[in-house]
Structure 1
Amino acid sequence: MGRIAVVGAGIVGCSCALFLQRDGHDVVLVDPREPGAGTSKGNAGIISCSAITPLATIETLRGVPAMLRDPMGALSIRWRHLPELLPWLVRFCIASRSRTVESSTVALAALLQHANQAHDIVIQQAGLGDLVRGGGWLKVAYDRKRLDRYMASIRRYYDRFGVVYHMLDREGCLDLEPALNPEIAAGVLIADCRAVRHPQDYTGGIARAVMERGAEHVRQTVRDIERADGVVKTVITDAGKLAVDGVVLAAGAFSGALARMSGAPVPLIAERGYHLMLPHPAVTLNNPVYTVEGSFVVAPMTHGLRLTGGVELASNAAPPDYARIRRLIEPARRLVPGLTATVDDAWQGHRPSLPDSLPVVDRAPALRNFWYAFGHQHIGLTLGPLTGRLVADLVAGRQPLVDLAPFRARRAFC
């Protein structure tokens, strides 16, 4: 193939670069920021192979009014941006139909069963073993009935697709995480999840590995492409033109414009997420902990505890609003008594989301040398390495590890 430009240097783009380079391609990462400095920086660090159910379900829709009324709820909407968001929201509602939930779950489960194996390849290739820890992901509740309701909608899928989980009583939760509040009534340990202790360093480590093997990093924004006879010839950046033999679009929530240019006007928006870093928490956790009542995660990092939670729907260009994530400090201190709430870093990022919760992994409909790798919603870290492997298969003309029909760019988005 020759020289391939990967647009976007997050976990998905850097993973694409690694697997393409393994196939012998010259790779150019094109991103104005350092690798991993965007949305890949701020997640909870969970390799979540249990995330097999889509976001759009009847249960989610039923919970929306309560979430919007609650100032600490899991969802907020900037109402002045509603006209811009409305077409996506309508599709999201339609995607909650049972048959769409079923097909999306089957598709996600097919991807996620291979996610850990792809991470193992990346960890070995880039020497990142020190950043990843096993042990699972603990979800807890103060009310056992609340946990039972939470599990009711997903337990059948866990059982059907072989997700390994263990229901725990109070003592079981405290045995795993002694720092938790003893008022916790019950929990569930998702056993096959792993934790990345510094997500930005994880992505940066992948980028460093490919650059040590000859890849370039062009710190520019891609504005356009030049094509001839169904083939991209040139990528146009702020600094000028870059001759290429192929392009992979992995720019996350900012992929929409180039997707349209290449023949795929997908309904992509950003679910805006926030985190706070607590660098001197005075207590420790062994693994990430999610609270069902609060819908937030407290995750151990190499540099403290990270508090993440909630989805904000707004324009990509809207300024951050950190008030909501700061309101979670007190619930976090209830969950982890003794937590010192000194905040070192408040962060906001953009989760690239499509109404059916499935990413786009495909070749452009009108261009033979342009491929898509975006739209991974809340599981970009989890699926980044696998997406890199799948894109390399597409570029090489190999049979992909997974049937990619559900992830094509021109599917019916409800």
Structure 2
Amino acid sequence: MSRQTVVLGAGMVGVSIAWHLVQRGHDVTLVDRLQPGRETSFGNAGIIQREAVRPYPFPRDLKTLLKVVPNRRVDIRYRPGGMFQAASPLLRYWLNSAPAIYKKIVPEYASLIQLSLQEHAPMIEAAGAEALVRKDGWLELYRTQSKLNTRLKEAEEARERYGVQFELLDGLALAVKEPDLSEDIIGAIHWIDPWTVADPGALVEAYAQAFQKAGGKVLQADIQDVAQQENGWVVHTSEGDLEVDNVVVALGPWAGSWLKGLGYDFPTFVKRGYHMHYGLAPKAKLHHWVMDAEVGYLLAPMRAGVRLTTGAELDRLEAPAHESQLKAAEAMARKLFPLGERCDQTAWKGARPCLPDMKPVIGPAPRHKGLWLAFGHGHQGFTLGPATGRLLADMMEGDAPPIDMAPFRADRFR
């Protein structure tokens, strides 16, 4: 097969695909309006989540749904305009969260997650990025015993079925690891497998530099149009045209709108999120990534300070930022841990690209030869980028991927 390829989108998914393809001998150009790792991949929680074998289902019990209605929760907020625009995919998301359907989705999704560490590892080595990565897991904190017990059952199932490793911490054991946490926390699950990253954007940038050292090219330009030709594709950019044999669309939350121009109507929607960095109060230390599970935010000790990441906000992709969710999370976080002053002038805002069956699209476009798709990773694009790169490269080369790719095919939405 011919080997001139353009990858559209320089987040974790796009960079990883480009890296894998250049290892296979492709002539690859990676195109994005910003430098690699500056969009969605920049602002996440920085966890390679090997434990996340269960995707996030839509709440279905009436009690939880009624709690969401006042729109004051930290873990989930919504805007009427965003809910209206995404009404159809959100309904399908709710239907797919029914227990019988969700039970079938979990092992398919888990097959991707189980590849995450083994596919990040060679890229970390190639990028010389070991200093960015810690391998001591993260802590999921609980305030009530009943909810900790419920989560513990899920953890035990994940260990039995998918090899996830964890340790249950009572209040005393948790205080040894994190002595500055509030006494309101009665215990935690220490997820042992995951790796944490002190600067997620820097890791993506390091992967991109490794891609360039291997012979790949990075083009910072606006993508204006993509059109099929008799013998391939032309990508029109603000910096000129690229004529290639293959195009990979890895545009994250923008993929759905871009693909409409080629006649595809994927049921995409976004879950937006925010982050802010903080200093530490005098003598305070945060040693691990910690999630206040019953409230719905995460604190991460990163290079730029302690990063607070919020839960999900359902709104239009390009709608203005709303800091009320972040402010509510900050108020709770200050009760949990002695945060110092804000380090950033404004909050960062990003969007997680989602599909209603909680699984990404990875594979060939149904109606266009040489068009390949990789988007819709939801909360786990940072975790699943390298695995996606490996799998898509296998498919493009005609090799057998290590897992069944049928659950991720593009033509499953009809």
Interval of TM-score (by shorter of Structure 1 and Structure 2): over 0.9
Name the structure 2 match of 1:271. 271
- Does the CA-based 8 Å contact 1:275-1:346 persist in structure 2? yes
Q: Within 2, Cα distance between the matches of 1:254 and 1:226?
A: 17
Which residue pairs with 1:86 in the alignment? 87
Give, in angstroms, the shift of residue 239 of structure 1: 4.1
Give the match for residue 46 of structure 2.
45
The within-5 A match list for 1:373-384 is 373-384=374-385
Distance 1:183 1:102 in 2: 33
Divergent runs of 4+, >6 A: none
Q: Which deviates the most, 233-242 or 167-176?
A: 233-242
The structural deviation recorded for 1:328 is: 1.6
Asked if the contact 1:53/1:154 (under 8 Å) is kept, the reply is no
Structure 1 CA distance for aligned equivalents of residues 60 and 188 of structure 2? 20
How far 1:144 moved relative to its partner? 1.6
Shift of 1:154: 5.8
Confirm or deny: 8 A CA contact 1:54 1:105 kept in the other structure.
yes
**Structure 2 Cα separation of the partners of residues 265 and 62 of structure 1:** 34
Aligned ranges 1:2-151 → 2 under 5 Å: 2-57=3-58, 63-69=64-70, 71-151=72-152
Write out per-residue CA displacement over residues 221-270 of structure 1, whole angstroms, 9 at most, x where no aligned residue.
323222135x6421122444211121111110000133334454211111
Partner of 2:298: 297
How much identity, in percent, do the aligned residues show? 34
Structure 1 residue 56: Cα displacement:
2.0
Q: Which runs of 5 or more structure 2 residues have no equivalent in the other structure?
A: none
Contact 1:66 1:73 in 2 (8 A): no
2:180 counterpart SS class: coil
- Whether 2:397 is the aligned partner of 1:396: answer yes
Paired amino acid for 2:246: G
User: Tell me, what secondary structure is at the counterpart of 1:18?
Assistant: helix
Does 1:387 find its partner at 2:388? yes
Report if the CA contact (8 A) 1:7-1:31 is conserved. Answer: yes
What residue in structure 2 maps to residue 174 of structure 1?
A: 175
Is the contact made by 1:264 and 1:410 (CA closer than 8 Å) also made in structure 2? no
**3-state SS of 1:400 partner:** coil
Give the C-alpha shift of residue 294 in structure 1.
1.4
Q: Which deviates more, 388-397 or 35-44? A: 388-397
One-letter code aligned to 1:237 = T
Distance apart, 1:410 and its partner CA: 1.1
State the distance in 2 between where 1:174 and 1:259 align: 50
User: Kindly tell me: are residues 196 and 210 of structure 1, through their superposed partners in 2, closer, same or farther at Cα, counting changes over 3 Å?
Assistant: same
Distance change in 2, residues 1:180/1:373 (3 Å): same
3-state SS of paired residue (1:327)? helix
* Deviations 1:313-367, CA, capped at 9 Å, x for gaps: 111120111222022222112111x321323251000100011110110111112
CA distance in 1, matches of 2:379, 2:289: 15
The code of the aligned residue for 2:389 comes to: G
Which string of whole-angstrom CA distances, capped at 9 and with x for unpartnered residues, describes residues 24-69 of structure 1?
A: 1111111001110000000010111111112225557752331342
In the alignment, structure 1 residue 253 sits paired with structure 2 residue 264: no
Give structure 1 stretches of 5+ with no counterpart: none
Aligned residues: 411
- What amino acid sits opposite 2:233 in the alignment? K
Distance 1:386 1:245, change over 3 A: same
**What is the TM-score of this pair, normalised by structure 1?**
0.94
Q: Which moved more, 1:275-284 or 1:171-180?
A: 275-284
